């Protein structure tokens, strides 16, 4: 990267962090530090919620997913508007009127202390691991750009962000989100335009999209009823509904956002912003991935996008074998490019027979490229001992730093880093709030003054930053980051949602039933995850259903609810 690009990144991040802290008020008080004194306008809260969703994971993991498989991930978001409507009608007024700091405080009022503590603990583990994935995304970018190992880049991101969060509290997080949201959208739009302009002169955007269609990358509806398929219309409208209900309705990282709003109506409006705009923005991110696939049809991509693994194999005793595979890969790319150009030409001719023949020819050449690349990946796994090797998260960073002009590289990198740091900061704030309110103040020292509690919260922020960094080092090689974070969440979210559904929706539920339901829900989800091929989005429905059903039965057998 050029000095100009680095200058843009440093200047933007410095300004965003400074301005976010500058706009923070009353951070010397618990309510001001954790909830912005419940004073933020609806549009700031709404942009903050959306910015959390359009994080570096989205910009790196989702674009990589779009490159590899296309638009199918979009199906995961079809239930979002329905979930937002349900949450706006139920959870938002409920939590606002309760005047609580965390969602889990209510569970003690409704059930007992152990149910509150166990649910809060589940949140801490799930959100702590998810924060690690959020750190992984920009760490991947830095490792590509600077040639550093992922461990170093994870720490370089997490620790400074922890310091910024410790100083500014949730207000700094929210106002930073507002500014970075604009840059993210601008950066995504610029990347999309650059990719379209990078197509050959004799291949129009329409021609290119039709080529992508032959590979299935434009498929946004899959009505398969196979429970092992991750992204279908049914997982997106049923399984994901429970994911979103739990995430936006019971996850402290989101509950804390709309508790900062001035009123119930403003909190609802902030959620509706995400309901209206999330799917179009997610589609934009995934179409960028599709256009990267099309771009690399006509511009040779690297055989491996992870340069560190590429270098290790080149320096190994099997370097000659690797070079031979690379030669085969180049030949396969040339044949695929020719087949793509021929398919684009014949699509304009109107000859259905010729079009079908060219389509089959292109598919065969695409499969040949995939087969050769699979040989290279197998060699990498054998040489490095990394059985989980996957470079899908390196695709977009590689395109940005190798094919975009000076200046635009800096803007896109600034967008990725700002998105990551803002999301990390928001989640660290939520983790710190839950640690202090639901554990330290409840179980260790309930008479601590505000200065003492704020000091403890800053220590908690630093602890979770280190914990998330450790997870990030492991998560960077697990595959598509957007899928990894949802897998982590789906393991816990269903059970957490189930206990809140019991609390709000079943008047006869008692503490014994709620706790037994939580144990049963987590146990069943763990069994399903380990021993069955059922897609992870269904884990949310399974967990919620088991907790609710077991909770009802045990409550009926053990007596009346708590007064």
Could you tell me which residue, 169 or 434, shows the higher pLDDT? 434
Cα distances (Å, whole numbers) of residue 399 to 188, 375, 389, 393, 403: 13, 23, 20, 11, 6
Predicted confidence (pLDDT) per residue in 510-519, tens digit:
999 999 999 9
Res 560 pLDDT > 80? no
Predicted confidence (pLDDT) per residue in 180-191, tens digit:
788 888 888 888
CA 538, 544, 547, 553 torsion-angle sign? negative
Measured torsion, CA atoms of residues 349, 351, 357, 360, in degrees rounded to the nearest 10: 70
Distance CA 391, CA 398 (A): 11
The answer to whether residues 495 and 122 touch, using CB atoms and an 8 Å cutoff, is: yes
| Residue count (the chain) | 563
Measured torsion, CA atoms of residues 415, 419, 421, 425, in degrees rounded to the nearest 10: 150
Q: What is the average per-residue pLDDT within 458-462?
A: 90
Q: What is the largest CA-CA distance in the chain?
A: 81
Distance CA 465, CA 449 (A): 25
Could you tell me which residue, 532 or 153, shows the higher pLDDT? 532
For residue 422, give both structure tokens: 């803002």
The answer to whether residues 193 and 202 touch, using CB atoms and an 8 Å cutoff, is: no
User: Residue 53, CB half-sphere, CA atoms under 13 Å: how many?
Assistant: 24
Considering 26-30, 156-160, 237-241, 548-552, the range whose residues carry the highest mean pLDDT is 548-552
As a whole-number percent, the residues of the chain with pLDDT over 90 amount to 28
Closest CA to 240 of 119, 73, 409, 430: 73
Mapping DSSP to helix (H, G, I), strand (E, B) and coil, where does residue 40 land?
A: strand
442: left (phi over 0), alpha (psi -120 to 50) or beta: alpha
Predicted confidence (pLDDT) per residue in 358-391, tens digit:
899 999 999 999 999 999 999 998 988 877 777 8
DSSP class per residue in 183-231: HHHHHHHHHHHHHHHTS-TTS-HHHHHHHHHHTTTT--------TT-SS
Distance CA 519, CA 541 (A): 16
What would you report as the CA-atom Rg of the chain, rounded to the nearest whole angstrom?
A: 24
DSSP class per residue in 486-510: HHHHHHHHHHHHHHHHHHHH-TT--
Residue 38 DSSP symbol: G
Distance CA 252, CA 235 (A): 24
**Residue 87 CB partners (closer than 8 Å, separation 6+):** 245, 248, 249, 271
Distance CA 77, CA 235 (A): 10
Range from 32-36, 123-127, 191-195, 535-539 carrying the lowest mean pLDDT? 32-36
Q: Where are the domains of the chain?
A: 3-196+262-290+398-477, 307-390
Residue written as token pair 């691991």 = 129
**Residue 447 CB partners (closer than 8 Å, separation 6+):** none
Query: How is the chain split among helix, strand and coil, in percent rounded to 5?
Result: 80, 0, 20
pLDDT for res 279 = 86
Q: What is the average per-residue pLDDT within 148-168?
A: 79
Distance CA 255, CA 562 (A): 25
pTM of the model: 0.82
Across the chain, mean pLDDT equals: 85
Res 481 pLDDT > 80? no
CATH superfamily for domain 3-196+262-290+398-477: Sodium/glucose cotransporter (1.20.1730.10)
Predicted confidence band of residue 480 (pLDDT cuts 50, 70, 90): low
Res 170 pLDDT > 80? no
pLDDT for res 328 = 95
Closest CA to 547 of 525, 524, 527, 518: 518
Res 37 pLDDT > 70? yes
pLDDT for res 185 = 84
Res 44 pLDDT > 60? yes
Res 476 pLDDT > 70? no
Q: What is the average per-residue pLDDT within 302-307?
A: 87
**Residue 66 CB partners (closer than 8 Å, separation 6+):** 73, 217, 285, 286, 287, 288, 289, 290, 292, 293
Distance CA 72, CA 232 (A): 8
Closest CA to 23 of 160, 176, 182: 176
Closest CA to 510 of 552, 452, 472, 548: 552
């Amino acid at each position: 990267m050029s000095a100009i690009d680095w200058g843009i990144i440093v200047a933007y991040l410095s300004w965003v962090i400074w301005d976010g802290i500058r706009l923070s008020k009353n951070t010397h008080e618990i309510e001001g530090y954790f909830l912005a004194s419940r004073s933020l306008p609806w549009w700031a809260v709404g942009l903050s919620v959306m910015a959390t969703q359009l994080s570096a994971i989205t910009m790196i993991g989702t674009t990589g997913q779009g490159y590899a498989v296309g638009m199918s991930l979009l199906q995961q978001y079809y239930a979002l508007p329905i979930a937002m409507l349900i949450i706006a009608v139920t959870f938002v007024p409920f939590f606002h009127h309760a005047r609580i700091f965390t969602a889990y405080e209510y569970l003690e009022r409704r059930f007992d202390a152990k149910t509150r503590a166990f649910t809060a603990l589940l949140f801490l583990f799930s959100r702590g691991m998810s924060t690690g994935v959020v750190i992984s995304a920009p760490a991947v970018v830095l490792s590509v750009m600077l040639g550093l190992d992922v461990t170093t880049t994870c720490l370089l991101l997490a620790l400074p962000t922890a310091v910024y969060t410790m100083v500014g509290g949730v207000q700094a997080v929210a106002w930073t989100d507002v500014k970075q949201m604009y840059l993210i959208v601008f950066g995504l739009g610029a990347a999309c335009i650059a990719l379209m302009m990078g197509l050959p002169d004799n291949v129009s955007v329409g021609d290119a999209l039709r080529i992508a269609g032959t590979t299935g990358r434009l498929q946004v509806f899959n009505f398969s009823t196979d429970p092992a398929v991750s992204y279908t219309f049914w997982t997106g409208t049923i399984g994901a509904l429970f994911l979103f209900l739990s995430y936006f309705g019971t996850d402290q990282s989101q509950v804390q956002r709309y508790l900062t709003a001035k009123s119930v109506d403003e909190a609802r409006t902030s959620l509706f912003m995400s309901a209206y705009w999330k799917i179009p923005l997610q589609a934009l991110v995934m179409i960028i991935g599709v256009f990267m696939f099309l771009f690399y049809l006509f511009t040779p991509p690297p055989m491996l996008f992870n340069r560190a693994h590429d270098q290790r194999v080149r320096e190994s005793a099997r370097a000659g074998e690797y070079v031979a595979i690379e030669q085969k890969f180049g030949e396969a790319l040339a044949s695929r490019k020719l087949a793509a150009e021929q398919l684009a030409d014949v699509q304009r001719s109107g000859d259905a027979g010729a079009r079908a023949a060219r389509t089959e020819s292109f598919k065969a050449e695409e499969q040949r490229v995939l087969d050769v690349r699979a040989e290279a990946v197998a060699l990498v796994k054998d040489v490095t001992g990394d059985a989980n090797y996957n470079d899908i998260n390196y695709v977009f960073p590689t395109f940005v730093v190798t094919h975009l002009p000076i200046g635009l590289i800096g803007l896109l990198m600034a967008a990725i880093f700002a998105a990551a740091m803002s999301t990390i900061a928001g989640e660290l704030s939520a983790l710190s709030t839950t640690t202090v309110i639901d554990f330290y103040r409840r179980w260790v020292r309930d008479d601590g003054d505000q200065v003492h509690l704020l000091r403890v919260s800053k220590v908690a922020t630093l602890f979770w930053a280190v914990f998330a960094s450790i997870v990030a080092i492991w998560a960077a090689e697990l595959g598509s980051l957007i899928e990894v974070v949802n897998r982590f969440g789906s393991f816990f979210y269903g059970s957490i949602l189930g206990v809140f559904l019991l609390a709000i929706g079943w008047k006869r539920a008692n503490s014994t039933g709620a706790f037994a339901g939580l144990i049963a829900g987590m146990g069943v989800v763990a069994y399903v995850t380990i021993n069955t091929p059922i897609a992870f989005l269904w884990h949310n429905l399974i967990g919620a259903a088991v907790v609710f059903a077991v909770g009802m039965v045990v409550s009926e057998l053990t007596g009346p609810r708590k007064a």
